[in-house]
Amino acid sequence: MHMFSVEHGFYGGHGIVGAQVSLGTGLAFKHKYTGDGGVCLAYFGDGAANQGQVYESFNMAELWKLPIIFVIENNQYAMGTSVNRASAEDQLYRRGESFRIPGMQVDGMDVLAVHGAAKVALERVRGGKGPVLLELKTYRYRGHSMSDPAKYRSREEVQAVREKSDPIELLKKELEAAGVSEDELKTLEKDIRRIVQDAADFAEQAPEPELFELYTDVLVEQY
């Protein structure tokens, strides 16, 4: 199931790992071409960061100074392989260097750090200086799919991250320290759960697209 909303400028997830980076670069090109002031944020994983088309996109994005932030969600694992095992350069924030794209490595488990880094990146991109790469270091709690035996890591590793670095728990502590009461936090959590539940219900109950939609906006050439 993939979410998609033109209305909210959310162009969805994609089945082909890494392809969203080229699509995002195209969207950034549109922002520049029409001068609408928009910025594209293209999210991809540590596994996707090894896809060839990512680098073709980097090249064009920097060459044309496109308004795009490449956000690598480095959750340490692709389908069944850790980033260190699969990547010659595992400091992923450096992956844009040969295209002159500046990169920042950010603690992706720290909400406020991510917010701060995003602000810096947006300022640069909006200033017409071209793309920025953000590597958000995070962690994947769950297996890749229901059939993932997770032989590539220990239970203890997962448990330790949950206990020590969970971003929601960390933010809760920060909010408490800032004077937000337990009741307010509970209300907040309830509200968020409802928003997520409503979105899930909407996705499950929305009708399937009509069959003819398969050909909508698809160019079929006859030879």
Ligand X SMILES: Cc1ncc(C[n+]2csc(CCOP(=O)(O)OP(=O)(O)O)c2C)c(N)n1
The answer to whether 62 contacts ligand X (rule: CB under 6 A) is: no
**Residue 174 CB, nearest distance to ligand X (Å)?**
25
The answer to whether 96 contacts Mg ion (rule: CB under 5 A) is: no
Is residue 8 annotated as a catalytic residue, yes or no?
no
Q: Residue 221 phi/psi, 5° resolution?
A: -95, 140
The answer to whether 57 contacts ligand X (rule: CB under 6 A) is: no
Is residue 215 annotated as a catalytic residue, yes or no?
no
Q: How many residues does the chain have?
A: 223
Residue that has been written with the tokens 């206990």 in this structure: 163
> From the candidates 77, 144, 162, 194, which is the catalytic residue?
144
Q: Site for ligand X (CB under 6 A): how many residues? A: 13
- State the CB neighbour count (10 A cutoff) for residue 46: 25
The answer to whether 138 contacts ligand X (rule: CB under 6 A) is: no
Using DSSP bridges, classify how beta strands 68-74 and 40-45 pair: parallel, antiparallel or unpaired: parallel
Q: Which of 9, 80, 77, 74 is CA-nearest to residue 39? A: 9
Round to whole Å and give the CA distance between 60 and 219: 24
> From the candidates 77, 93, 95, 140, which is the catalytic residue?
140
**Residue 47 CB, nearest distance to ligand X (Å)?**
3
The answer to whether 78 contacts ligand X (rule: CB under 6 A) is: yes
Is residue 140 annotated as a catalytic residue, yes or no?
yes
Q: Which does 79 bind (CB under 5 to 8 A by kind): Mg ion, ligand X, none?
A: ligand X
Reading the block at residue 112, the tokens are 């406020």
The nearer residue to Mg ion, 142 or 193, going by C-beta atoms, is 142
Q: Which does 17 bind (CB under 5 to 8 A by kind): Mg ion, ligand X, none?
A: ligand X
For the segment 9-38, give every residue that binds ligand X (CB under 6 A).
Answer: 15-17
The answer to whether 110 contacts ligand X (rule: CB under 6 A) is: no
Residues forming the site for Mg ion (CB under 5 A) = 45-46, 75
User: Can you give the binding site for ligand X, defined by CB under 6 A?
Assistant: 15-17, 45-48, 73, 75, 77-79, 140
- Which residues are known catalytic residues? 140, 144, 152
